[in-house]
Structure 1
Amino acid sequence: MKVFVTDCEGPITKNDNAFELCCHFIPKGEELFRVLSRYDDYLYYVEKRQGYQAGTTLKFVFPFLLAFGITEEKMLDFSLRTLTIMPKAIEALRSIRGVMPVFIVSTSYAPYLKALCGILGISMEQVFCTSFDLEGIEFTERDKRALRELAREIASFEVPQDLTHERALKIWERLDAIFFKGGLRYLEGLLSRIETVGAKEKARAVKEVIKRTGSSLQEVMYVGDSITDFEALRDVREGGGLSVAFNANRYALEVAEVACLAEDLYPLAVMAYLFYRGGKEEVLKAAMDWKEVPLLRKGVPSEWLSEAKVGIISKENVAFWVLESESWRKRIRGVKIGELG
């Protein structure tokens, strides 16, 4: 059975919900999130720390959100008010669901996915996302004050562009002391309350989808756009499935097989239709000549055809696709979100 598995933020929505939550609820939350996001990139992509998974930024920022008064109800309300769905996402996903099961694998917090799935009409049983348990948390005012002060400290860090620069390494050393060496007595307990779906968990989620549906990696179409999709995109490609980098950054483009730059979701519906009919090879053939007439000849409905740049990624052209896609990504989602890993 063919299955469609996609990330949420990027392919389906324009949001970065955790970033937006930090900006709204935490003073200098944008700066705080950016520092911790780059720390996340460093640990996973540069240092390649054993056992670490990309996407842990959402675990790092969670105690600070709690210290500034976030609740599950506030997260859900904020998500419903700020949710920005990609154009034609509802229609495209409805078309895809007509031919194969759709699963969402996201690093985003569960309240955000609940808000989205309520609009899409997709069951949360078909969603893998970051979850947390706030019941019984003992969180004193003194603890909250300490975390607020720590948030101010982290937000003040100025991370160089080079993540291995001496100044950057000193910042990473300080963050290691905070998050991994018992810097605060209660922080470990708070961090244990959140289960992030990062890079490794996304790859495991794909395996779980295969198990549930009785499919194989060859029958999986996976769509991702960032560093947390790195392992899932790689595994699907190596397993013979279709891996698509949609409005992606360099991390996703380095391991995906097909690049797709689009202003709406219909190009993914086209790929899913072709994948359903003829597997990966049918999509690769179309990607080599992604034009209206050839696609119509393949039976693609005319209303699905919209502006898009689609092509096969190779070692020779990946630099081109990184330049094109990261520029496109910032234009579609905004510079602040588009720059995040």
Structure 2
Amino acid sequence: ISRMPMFSIPRTAKSLQDLPEKARAATRMLDEIFWKQIASMQVGRVFSEVTLVGGAGKAEAVRNIVHKLGVTLAEVMYVGDSITDEEAFKLVRGGGGLTVSFNGNRYAVQNAEIAVLCEDSTVIGILAEEFAKQGREKTLDIIEHWDRKVLLKSLGDEDLLNLFFKLYPEKLPKVKIVTKENMEILTKESTEFRKKVRGEAVGRLG
């Protein structure tokens, strides 16, 4: 899969036939890999055992996880990117947990405490590590002073930190606390960045 060509879906595309030949070939290969090869493996059980949820279902899933683990919502860090995460954002935020929009659209940014614009999820690992060890307020404090010196002083996982700095040797990804003052500009920036990393078609989804 990693060797397959990158391709974009034209805005006017309505079916497989509307894609360029290379894109059609890649799509057929992905269908073969996921729906035949992987489906025939033991790991293919995940296709039938995992239930897709959205909207209220995600919030209910969070409630179930909290109940099963015997923890509180204040111990939850929830990461989302769209309107289907809105209810879960409200649930976790209302319970004192941490909510993060990751390359989110306007629904995500406007319901999260933190907005992240990044091409990979390593930064989420950084935030999760800090949240798990030091809690919500300390994590927010680190984001408020987001730079290399603060991360070096605060984060205990050297391997994760070294990887992060290797990926971003000059400029760190944008990580901001969402406020009334910056919400509009962060929404615009995150929406545009979302389209850049996910493609126009997917980036426009709610």
Q: Which residue of 2 aligns with 1:78?
A: 31
CA root-mean-square deviation: 3.0
Q: Does the 8 Å CA contact 1:259/1:310 hold for their aligned counterparts?
A: yes
For 1:289, the aligned partner's letter is H
Query: What is the TM-score normalised by the length of structure 2?
Result: 0.73
Q: Answer yes or no: is the 8 Å Cα contact 1:296–1:302 preserved in 2.
A: no
1:157-216 residue CA offsets vs partner (Å, 9 max, x unmatched):
xxxxxxxxxxxxxxxxxxxxxxxxxxxxxxxxxxxxxxxx22000000000111111111
Instruction: Look up the match of 2:97.
Output: 241
Letter in 2 for 1:243: T
Cα gap change, 1:252 to 1:278, in 2 (>3 Å): same
Structure 1 position 285, deviation (Å): 0.6
Query: What is residue 163 of structure 2 aligned with on the other side?
Result: 303
Report deviation, 1:129: 3.3
In the alignment, is the contact (CA less than 8 A) between 2:82 and 2:108 conserved in 1?
Answer: yes
Q: Does the Cα contact within 8 Å between 2:129 and 2:155 map onto a contact in 1?
A: no
The one-letter amino acid paired with 2:189 is: E
1:210 to 66, 70, 91: 66
**Larger RCO (alpha carbons 8 Å, 6+ apart):** 1
Q: Which has the larger radius of gyration?
A: 1
Question: Does residue 281 of structure 1 match 2:141?
Answer: no
Q: 1:214 to 1:80 in 2, by over 3 A?
A: farther
- Written as runs of structure 1 = structure 2, the 5 A alignment for 1:132-211 is 197-211=53-67
Go from structure 1 to structure 2 and tell me whether the alpha carbon gap of 1:79 and 1:216 turns closer, same or farther (over 3 Å shift): farther
Residue 271 of structure 1 and its aligned partner are, at CA, apart by 0.2
Return the offset for 1:275.
0.4
Report deviation, 1:254: 1.1
| In 2, Cα distance between equivalents of 1:225 and 1:79 | 29
- Percent of pairs identical after alignment? 38
Residue 317 (structure 1) aligned with residue 182 (structure 2): yes
Number of the residue aligned with 1:333: 198
The CA deviation string for residues 283-304 of structure 1, in whole angstroms up to 9 with x for no partner, is 1011112111110111352222
1:251 to 92, 101, 107: 107
Once residues 238 and 23 of structure 1 are traced to their aligned partners in structure 2, the CA distance between those partners, rounded to angstroms, is 42
Q: Distance in 2 between matches of 1:271 and 1:340?
A: 26
Distance 2:178 2:31 in 1: 37
Q: Distance in 1 between matches of 2:50 and 2:80?
A: 14
Between 297-306 and 287-296, report the one with greater CA deviation.
Answer: 297-306
2:11 corresponding residue in structure 1:
none
Amino acid at match of 1:129: T
Other structure's SS at 2:71 match: coil
Q: Could you tell me whether the CA contact under 8 Å between 1:269 and 1:304 is conserved in 2? A: no
Counterparts of residues 8-27 of structure 1 (less than 5 Å)? 23-24=15-16
Q: Distance in 2 between matches of 1:309 and 1:79?
A: 37
Work out whether residues 128 and 205 of structure 1, in 8 Å CA contact, stay in contact via their aligned partners in 2: no
Q: Aligned equivalents of 2:15 and 2:68: distance in 1?
A: 38
The structure 2 residue matched to 1:222, chosen from 67, 73, 78, is: 78
User: What does the per-residue CA deviation read over 1:1-37, in whole Å, with 9 as the maximum and x for residues that have no partner?
Assistant: xxxxxxxxxxxxxxxxxxxxx743xx77xxxxxxxxx
Q: Structure 1 stretches of 5 or more lacking a match? A: 1-21, 29-74, 82-110, 131-196
Amino acid at match of 1:78: D
Per-residue CA shift, 1:22-61, capped at 9, x if unaligned?
A: 743xx77xxxxxxxxxxxxxxxxxxxxxxxxxxxxxxxxx
* d(CA) in 2 for partners of 1:265, 1:80: 24
